[in-house]
Chains A and B, each alone.
Chain A
Amino acid sequence: MTDKTLLPRLDRLSRITAPVPMRERPPALSGLLAPKRFMSMLGLVLFLCALLLPFITASPYVISILTSAFIYVMIAMGLNVVVGYAGLLDLGYIAFVAVGAYTSGILSTQFGFTMLETVPFVILACILAGLIIGGPTLRLRSDYLAIVTLGFGEIIRITATNLELTGGASGIHGIPTWEFFGWSFADGVELGGIFFSAKVLFYYFVVFIALGVATVGAARLAGGKLGRAWKSVRDDEDASEAMGINGYKAKLSAYVIGAVWGGVAGSLLATHLSAISPPSFEFLYSALVLMAVVLGGMGSTPGVIIGALFVSLAPEFLRDFAEWRYLIFGVLLVVVMIFRPAGLWPANYVLPFLKKRVVEPVATTNIPWAAVSKAEVAAAEAELDAAAPGSPAAPRAGQSPVADQDATEQGSRQ
């Protein structure tokens, strides 16, 4: 162990090592219908569909709303790390999107950076913002965090309204599209006789970053060491401390990673909108992203994608209802929470037609692989019986007939 938190004098204490597994495990499910495999295949198919879409319809309207929908997916993925995995209620998440959008907007319009060059600064700014707001507040329990993040969201928006650097209330205009070493999306590209316009190229870029990198990345983080730490803190903070997980560090890492996701998505959003202003980052948007995560299913990758697509695309379909659509959203959220309290696609949900694990429970009468062998247990039972009458404790309530039957059965075997 090289951990710096190790107390010096305890270093010399030798530690016990894990025993080798003493029994065979049933093989992992295989084939196309194994849940894990199926879900990643489904993801790949949907990713390819997103890539093929401009060949079916390249109307600027469709491309534009889908681009913003996918950016929404990335924002929701970031919030999912904070809310879904780590269980931290963040009511001002859009602030990180604002930090990302303004950082890349300012650097590109006023300092002549290309969008690609702004990325490191966006990430840095978001990590800093995450540390500044998360550092002091994550020591608190979650209710306080919700209030502080709510305030943080408003502070960022009001600061942006009042600073000259951020363009005040009118915001920043003319944010360029992405440019890679002299070649810009605006140049377009012609492949096999088909001309890809700047909008379509940017759409592809967003598909790649938001659906490919951000979604897969967040899901992978959830499966490793960090993900387990986040989920354990969410489920029971004290127990996770008892497992050697520093709850504060775990929460801070979730918060900062969520901030980075939001910030990079914000920088994509800045390009997509080409103009950003404080009203784009109102509390309403924090609430909508939160709704996407909760509606879809906290901590569930497919759920959050569905939720984000719904929240971002539904307004397009509900255009006729104008301002009424938020009422419809509200009613819908209530209905979903009544009938599917864990969201449309809960984190533990497995499609019904997929293969299920069928594991025979190991027989209780014969457990040669366990440290606790049957004969020892019988001896121990006898000891307990012998000890019980002499002991002044109340008679054992738990002496079930099953245990007795087990004991006699075992006796006859020997």
Chain B
Amino acid sequence: MTQVTDTELTDAPQRGELLLSVRDLAVHFGGVRAVDGLSFDVHEGEIVSVIGPNGAGKTSAFNCITGFYRPNAGRVLFGGEDITRVRPSTITMNGMARTFQNLRLFSDMSVLDNVKTAMHSRIRQNVFDQLLHTRRYRASEHRCTLDARGWLDFVGFRGDEELFVTQLPYGEQRRVEIARALASQPRLLLLDEPGAGLNHQEKAELMVLIRRIQQLGVGIVLIEHDMGLVMEVSERIVVLNFGKEIADGSPVEIKNNPAVIEAYLGAEETE
């Protein structure tokens, strides 16, 4: 398989349509300014990383973008539509999916059912279809089982799909969570520390997977602490510190940005 090196060489950023634009986003919790003036754009098929020291406000920003928090100021535009005060489920239905920092799979459901939940809004079944097991019910269940299996294979899930998610090793649970997010057929995928707790090989697999998702034309926003992964995979990096955006640029620019080195990397060196 030489594909990889090919993509590496021809990996000129092909910017598609503008998907997400965050403008002057701010969230305060009491006196704490968790996010304080964050702005960035994400295009179709683009990978943007959001990095910063612990407590910099990365996850708070994610929660604002996906509708879980209401920002105190600023706007979130998704495909040109203001989604600042839209319900999270509506945002997901409209093509933005996310994963969580701490795995949040549905623990009392099988792997397959976990993935199927993400297809909720597209499944056409009413109460009577479900009570009577009509043809429409059977057809739609068959369809979504196939789709769920397709996504599980896509992320490289190797286990038994009928197991409960709690019976899976950690790395496999991470895969299931990404498959679940993909099953909502997003245009934009927000990954909150997908590499946390993964070993070296699993991280490499994750990196390939992220690129494969990108090849589908999905825009990706990534929060990640593993600098190797971030520098390799992202086209642009946004750096946060104490809620403030201190840099936005290509990996090379970020590596050499004095503000970043001082605020983010300098803190690491003192440890």
Residues of A at the B interface (CB closer than 8 Å) are 1, 3, 5-10, 13-23, 25, 217, 220-221, 223-229, 231-232, 234-236, 238-247, 257, 299, 347-348, 357, 359, 361-362, 364, 367, 369-373, 375-381, 383-385, 387-388, 390-394, 396, 398-400, 402-404, 406-407
Contacts and interface: CB of A to CB of B under 8 A. Distances in A.
Interface of B: 1, 3-5, 66-68, 78-81, 83, 86-90, 92-95, 97-98, 100, 104-109, 113, 116-118, 120-123, 125, 127, 129-131, 133, 137, 140-141, 146-156, 158-162, 164, 180-187, 197-205, 207-209, 212, 216-218, 225-229, 231-232, 255, 261, 265, 268-269, 271
Contacts of A403: 199-202
Given A13-B79, A246-B87, A239 B150 contact: no
A231 B89 contact: no
B204 A380 contact: yes
Contact of B164 (A234, A247, A348): A348
Given A20-B146, A238-B68, A357-B160, A224 B130 contact: yes
Given A13-B95, A235-B108, A379-B4, A224 B185 contact: no
Contacts of A257: 127
Given A392-B269, A399-B199, A399-B200, A18 B185 contact: yes
Contacts of A228: 109, 113, 116-117, 120
A241 B89 contact: yes
Given A16-B217, A220-B131, A376-B4, A393 B201 contact: no
B92 A376 contact: no
B125 A225 contact: yes
Given A221-B127, A371-B209, A242 B153 contact: no
The 9 closest A-B pairs by CB, nearest first: A393-B227, A370-B156, A403-B201, A18-B147, A224-B130, A391-B227, A244-B92, A235-B106, A380-B204
A107 B102 CA distance: 54
Contact of B123 (A225, A381, A394): A225
A407 B125 CA distance: 47
Given A21-B149, A242-B92, A372-B156, A383 B131 contact: no
A347 B108 contact: yes
B1 A375 contact: yes
A380 B207 contact: yes
A236 B1 contact: no
A16 B218 contact: yes
B86 A391 contact: no
A113 to B, nearest CB: 25
Contact of B201 (A359, A371, A377): A377
A10 B185 CA distance: 13
Contacts of A242: 66, 68, 88-89, 92, 97-98, 100, 181
B228 A391 contact: yes
